[in-house]
Amino acid sequence: MTNGDTATGMVSALAVLALQSAHGGPFTFALAAGECITITGESGSGKTVMLRMIADLDPHEGDAQVDGKACSAMPADRWRRLVQYVPAEPAWWSDVVTDHMADTDEVRDLVVRLGLRTDCLRTPLSRLSTGERQRLALIRAIRLNPRVLLLDEPCSALDGATTDKVETVLQALRAQGVAIILVSHNMRQAERMADRQFQMRHGHLEEILA
């Protein structure tokens, strides 16, 4: 696949075009709307570095496109709304949850669907668990209506039942056309979620073929 085209000739939701830095790459691949690829690999192999390059958060060469529109041709804040990166350890500039997201019907619905306590929006972030903060970071990203989600170990602090809730929400987003790159150490999760599976080895991405 080249120039962001899928095998059917349609413009990809996300196209990664020779993206590279001193820490990994070059990466070239494309995702259709609603497609999910999963990436596994050892710690330090370059998974997070690649996600951050796609999100235009780290210096890099090459480019990426959403719906045929290049990252290099738009302001950074616009790109980062279309392509939402959710790190394994989310950053917060305030201890007040509602400083980061409004207390809306949409947010409250996601709180319930993701198995969060109903009072979590009124609880200081410093008093919430790692898993609660991970899910709130996912809500913060979803409410921006991105075309692409870049998820770095979004369920690493969650039990099996709560992981199921997160995956159900992600599958619903896929049905709405959101493309997802999911980094996970959980091979079973990777198999459940993926249309295609990849493994990162020393900064290079290899597709896992059945």
Task: Say whether pLDDT at 141 is over 70.
Answer: yes
The CATH architecture annotation of domain 14-208 reads 3-Layer(aba) Sandwich (3.40)
How many whole angstroms separate alpha carbon 12 and alpha carbon 72?
17
Task: Say whether pLDDT at 7 is over 70.
Answer: no
Contacts with 63 (C-beta within 8 Å, 6 or more apart), sequence order: 17, 18, 19, 70, 71, 72
- Per domain, the residue ranges of the chain are 14-208
Kindly indicate the confidence band of residue 2, based on its pLDDT and cuts at 50, 70 and 90. Answer: very low
How many whole angstroms separate alpha carbon 195 and alpha carbon 33?
12
CA dist list (Å): 176 to 31, 121, 165: 14, 26, 17
In whole numbers, what is the pLDDT of the chain averaged over residues? Answer: 93
Each residue of 143-168: pLDDT tens digit? Answer: 999 999 999 999 999 999 999 999 99
How many whole angstroms separate alpha carbon 57 and alpha carbon 33?
23
Question: What is the average pLDDT across 193-200?
Answer: 96
SS3 5: strand
Task: Say whether pLDDT at 1 is over 70.
Answer: no
DSSP 7: T
Is residue 179 within 8 Å of 15, Cβ to Cβ? no
For the entire predicted model, the pTM comes to: 0.93
| Residue 80 one-letter amino acid | R
